[in-house]
Chains A and B, each alone.
Chain A
Amino acid sequence: MRLLPCGPTAVMVEVDDTDQAAQLAAHLRAAALAGVVDLVPAARTVLVSCSMAADLAAVESAVASFVPGSEIERSGILVEVPTVYDGDDLGSVADTIGCSVGEVVELHSSTVYDAAFCGFVPGFAYLTGLPRPLLLPRRQNPRPRVPGGSVAIAAGFTGVYPTTSPGGWHLLGRATVAMWDSSRPRPSFIEPGDRVRFVPVAG
């Protein structure tokens, strides 16, 4: 664990991997420190932004009390994402890993994932825990337009594109719920710390 400087009112903590970043973020969220404005876990770091420089001391001591490898203090929510598995890349993913389309769906939908962090656009959650056969690199040619709701895998993560955007992940299907809706009490369907399961539904 390493503290990296980030201007007068923020600090970045670098850890070993995504799971540890999620654990540290959960640890700091649970500490509910006064003056913390934003707490942003990412692939290998947690950024903590405060309102004042004086708030950083408490953050640094909370970081020091973190034991890597400790159980994630989860939000306690298991989120289910109803998914129609009819993605454009289902066939090519099956070919690449040498199994049937049905087996890809079974692999992807039988796992409970951890929401490690959000980023890219509002409501895009990076989910970890992909079964080993589904650990594929990004597509060689990113698509200029991936439809909003697309359920996809790449680079060790699975996730759902909240809005139509460019994207380089392999498309397995589409979620039938909106990943982002500002008018909901919980605007992001998936929040960091949630556990997530994809539930196959008919199209």
Chain B
Amino acid sequence: MTVLEIVAPGPLCTVQDLGRPGWAHLGVGASGAADQRAHRLANRLVGNPAECATLECTFGGLRVRFLTAAYIALAGAECPLSADGARVGHQQPAAVAAGTVLAIGAPRTGLRTYLAVRGGVEGPVVMGSRSTDLLSGLGPPPLVAGDRLAAGGYPGTELPTAMAPPVPPDESPITIWPGPRHHWFSPAGHDALVAAPYEVLGTSNRIGTRLSGAGLERTVLDELPSEGIVNGAVQVPTDGQPLILLADHGVTGGYPVIAVVDPGDLGRVAQARPGEQLRFRWRR
């Protein structure tokens, strides 16, 4: 058993796992790690199954004291790291001694960094998940200084011997599929979405990535009765500026969804930080 203490949570640090899919019909969103690929990689590096909870650290700033020795790894947005002289690197599993304080600086690129601890972060399980859902309030509240967390013991798996090689940044456009209300927009609107980049706004959060760019013109102006929303839905409110719904989105919404981000590209959307430009391409 490992015990860690939050010295400083940074702008936002929450416990996340693969979320709680399967309850949307009761009004419960999936939540879970916003960048599932990075969450899975961090877990894999310490020999955890993907279901183990990690800490999702938003824009660095997290400082953690390990009260017992631990085996850890970080993945996602790469941050400057220091650990009282221990050799801790990005995507490199490391053993840290009892008493070590791990300090995570601000990422140079990307937004969300996942800290995995061998055995998985413990915490109350709500509807099959330890994830914090900031919209519905399910799961534990965001971490604050002084919080103590346990991590499980031997997860029943061997430690992997292979490291995760660095991957060059993927700057290709984000792939989008037509959404349920694609036909509510003009051909000019369909073209505008892929013609020029959109800038990520500072009001973005785990519920959605808000964008600023070409307005998307509607041809059907009906009121939309609320309907189900999938992860990665590109929703267009009345001002015509799209937003992409992420892990903590509500299960239904009343604005038309013009497109859906390909699940394989959703992690890149979750890692896009305010000021960054996102480009899109249609997949039909």
| Chain A residues in the interface with B (C-beta under 8 A) | 4-10, 12, 14, 25, 37-47, 49, 117-124, 163, 182, 187-188, 191-192
Contacts and interface: CB of A to CB of B under 8 A. Distances in A.
B260 A6 contact: yes
B25 A41 contact: yes
Contacts of B230: 6-7, 9-10, 47, 49
A118 to B, nearest CB: 4
B225 interface: yes
B80 interface: no
Interface in B167-213: 177-182
B252 A8 contact: no
Nearest to B181: A4
Given A47-B227, A49-B228, 4 more contacts: A7-B261, A12-B227, A40-B25, A191-B25
A12 B180 contact: yes
Main secondary structure of the interface of B (DSSP, over half): loop
A121 B27 contact: yes
4 cross-chain pairs, A with B, having the tightest CB-CB distances, nearest first: A47-B228, A7-B260, A43-B225, A40-B228
B228 A12 contact: yes
B26 interface: yes
Contacts of A9: 230, 263
6 contacts: A8-B262, A25-B25, A38-B22, A39-B24, A120-B252, A122-B28
A44 B179 CA distance: 16
Contacts, number: 115
Nearest to A6: B180
B250 interface: yes
B126 interface: yes
B226 interface: yes
A123 B22 CA distance: 14
Contact of B26 (A47, A163, A187): A187
Nearest to B266: A7
A174 B21 CA distance: 30
Contact of B27 (A43, A44, A46, A122): A122
A56 to B, nearest CB: 12
B214 interface: no
Given A7-B230, A7-B232, A124 B27 contact: yes
Contact of B177 (A8, A25, A42, A187): A8
Contact of A122 (B136, B177, B262): B136
Contacts of A49: 21, 24, 228, 230
Interface in B229-275: 229-230, 232-233, 250-252, 257, 260-263
Given A5-B179, A5-B180, A123 B27 contact: yes
A45 B262 contact: no
A40 B260 contact: no
B149 interface: no
